[in-house]
Each structure stands twice: as C-alpha cells, then as structure tokens.
Amino acid sequence: MEYFIKTLLRYLKNYNMVTIKLTLCLLCVVMLGGCSLKPLSGFAIKKDCTDSHYSNIDITSNVRDNPVILVAPVNQIETFSPNNLWDRIRIGLGSNSYPKNNDIDKEITLLATNKTALQQLSARAIWYLYYIVEEIEKRNLPMELAFMPIVESSLDSKATSPVGAAGLWQIMPYTGEHLGLSKNKWYDGRYDIIEATNVALNYMEKLYDIFDDWELAFAGFNSGPSRVKSAIAKNKLNNKPTTFWYLDLPTETYNYVTKIIALSSVLKNSKDYGVNFGFLKNSPSITYIDINNHIDLEDIAHESATSINTLVKINPGLLRQITPPDINYKLVVPVEKEHIIINKINNNVIKDIYAKSNKYKVRKNDNLIKIAKKFNTTPASIKEVNKLKTDKIMVGSKLLIPTIKGYNSSASSSKSNTNKAFTINKSKYYHSIQKGDNLHKIASKYNIEISDLITWNKYLATAKYLQIGQKVLIYK
C-alpha cells in the first residue's frame, strides 16, 4: 500500500489541483466498493447461459430453484484517465455483477463489432451525458442508469417514437403529465434535458422502491409498472420465479433490459472486448440559468456570440425557440457562455419579448384584421400576446403588437412553414365555399375565430368576395 501511494503521488505531480481532487475522489469510490450505492440487485439468468469465462460454474442445476449470479470478466490492468467521462462511468459501475445468457451475448457481440457506432456516442453525448452522470451520482443510484437514454433514444434529445414517446428518455405523454412535466404550445418538458432527466431518475427511484430490483425497475420504466406487477402476480399464481428473466413481458421490454446490461458489460470490460469508446471530457459542457422572462433564442445567440443551432440543440423543449411565458424556465447554455448571457439579460441587452412589442391604442372602427395588416402581423398573433379570448376589442384599450418570430412566424414564413407555430398537433381540413357562405358562417360552423381563418388563408384578408368552390384551409 505504501508503494502504491508513493507511486500515485509521483503521478499526480504532473496534474493540476482539479485533476488531483477528482482522482482522489474516484480512488475513494473504488476503495469503498460502492457500499453507499443502492445495490444493483436481481440479476438472475436463463437456463441457456454458457460462456467460456465461466466454465467452472455448474449451470446444470435447476436455475429456477437456484438462480446464479455470474460476474463479468475483470480486467487485469485498465488505463484510467481522470479526464475521460467514460472512465468515470466505468469506475461507477464498480463490482456490480451481470447475468450472462445467449441474448446478452448477442448484444455484446453486436456492440463489440460495431466499434464506430460506440465512438460516435461521444459526439452525441457531449452535451448531455455529464449532467446525467452527475445526477445519478448525487442520488447514489447505480451507474447502469446512465445507459438508459442511450438505449431509449441513442442520446437524440429530439427523438420521437411512432407511439408518441419523446426526448432523451422517451417519455410518453401520459407518463410525462403524471410525473409533472409541463406541456403547452411553447414548451414540452419531455424534451427538456434538465427536467426530463430529473423526473426520469425520480421515477426510477420510485420503481426501485416498488420492486426492490433494478432489472424490474428498468422493465417498469419501459412497459409500465402495472404490466410488471401483473406478470409477477401471474408467476406467483403458477408457482414460478418472479425475477425479471422469467416474467411474461413484451419482447421490447426484454430487449431493453438486455441492451442496458450489454452496454454496461462492454464498457466495464472494454479492453477484453477490444472496444474503444473514445474520449468524452469529464467536465460540464452545459449549465442552466433560471429565466422568468419571455426571451427569443435568436436574441440570446446574437448577443452572446453563440450558435443558434447549439442553443436549439440543448433546449429541445422549446417548441418555438422562445422561453415560455408565465413560468420559470431553466435555460440551458454552454457553460462558457453563462456569465455573458446573465450579464446581457440583467443589463437589458437581451430583452423580454413583451418589452420589444409595439404598443397600440385601439381607435374607432379598428378591428384585429385591420391592426394586424397595419403592423404586418396576424390577428391570431395579437390575440395570443394579449391573451384575448375573442376578436372583440374596445376603443381606447391598449394592445401589444408582437414583433418577433415566435408570434409572427405565420406572417413572415408562410411560404416555407405556413402557420406551423399555431397548428401543432391539429388536423388539417379544407372547406369548399358554398352558396351563402361568409367568414362568420364558416367560423361558427367549425367553432373557430374569423381571425384564425384569415391567419390560415392569407388571401382572405384582401378578398372582396368568396368564390363558390374555393378551398379554405382549417385546422382543428
């Protein structure tokens, strides 16, 4: 031990204090053996498990009566870089043992032979994975949870499944609502890196409390806890084992848990499998600023010399690239831009959208269509920014006239993206003009406002007459 410490101190002379502290912390983790972590329990196996590493283990006994835990092969000496997040994750996996079966072996083989794909993970992980690892460690959760968003979405923060699951963690709409994630026309918390990660980990903690088994918790996250409970109850009724590998669960769920275990095993034993995950810096790339203002990402990008594409990528929950009104929002920014952006906001260089809006006093004979035309915007935009429920406006009242893209996208970008900001999750219809039709009659028929009709059909703002057979676009 004395020789080891002297050698370590000689090694650390060449590194800065941050690196020294990190290395000592990681050393403590290794020495403690993960005793403070919630154990990664419940790894039973299937009967068909075979592997040359475990030729001395008797697998001929009845596995259902005597579940076996197989320990993944341990490397003799691993090269460790305190600057590489993958190494931090590897150490976080500690001495956790994994089952081995034919399906896990197949996944491991696929991963080990697709080395390019594993290295590409670092490129996608640069913005997200450090934050996820930090949160996992803060909660003393198993590091295997860091592989969940990799399996769920391949670390694509804008991923959406055919059934409606969204974001890094692929959270379904109902689940997001149940877990407290906000969703409106400005914002969808399921895509939010910070909020979705927090609720996903909260959910995993709850699932572990329910099942006392991480494999079952993974299964519950994928297919729902009720389905897992039903499968357990069915096995109990038939006097069968109730560990994950024996449950009658969807193939997708089985594959999901299998992939998490395979990824964990491959990273933990990357040298044995001849895999190089590449380099991923072990320091934050992002941080967040609490925002109460209604701010355009393009303004932030311009004033802080930050790529708008970067801001959009790390704030995928913003559906219109504008921070939502009336709620506190955690604006995610590159860590090196944090203080610049805070100063610009505090000094009113980056302004609230409402502060940038024109102010207009309603005059006699005014209506929303007339005012919108005057300011090159739309009636719907004026209604939205002023929170008007109908088209009625009072003479002498003051209106805010929006001047930025979040409200005016349908006026300024109609050629390329007609009214997209105002038609999210709506179905498109065409009404054919019939004899006796007028705008009021059409709006009443479809329970919409006249201003909406004009927003969706620009020609109606200047048309003197409606022509029979003419098509009117309607969103419902």
Residues designated as active site: 152
Asked if 356 and 402 count as a contact pair (C-beta separation under 8 A), the reply is no
Read off the tokens for 181: 């994630």
Asked if 380 and 410 count as a contact pair (C-beta separation under 8 A), the reply is yes
Separation of alpha carbons 324 and 312, rounded Å: 14
Partners of residue 473 on adjacent β-strands: 430
Asked if 354 and 386 count as a contact pair (C-beta separation under 8 A), the reply is no
Partners of residue 431 on adjacent β-strands: 472
SS3 content of the chain, % helix, strand, coil (to 5): 50, 10, 40
Read off the tokens for 401: 């006239």
Backbone angles phi, psi at 14, to 5 degrees: -90, 5
Asked if 49 and 102 count as a contact pair (C-beta separation under 8 A), the reply is yes
Separation of alpha carbons 167 and 157, rounded Å: 5
Number of residues assigned to the chain: 476
Separation of alpha carbons 82 and 85, rounded Å: 8
| Residue 431, H or E segment | strand 428-432
From residue 73, alpha-carbon distances to 9, 113, 189, 245, 267 in Å are: 29, 18, 40, 21, 12
**CB-side neighbour CA atoms (13 Å) of 441:** 9
**Residues in CB range of 137: below 8 A, 6 or more apart:** 92, 143
Partners of residue 389 on adjacent β-strands: none
Read off the tokens for 21: 């502290």
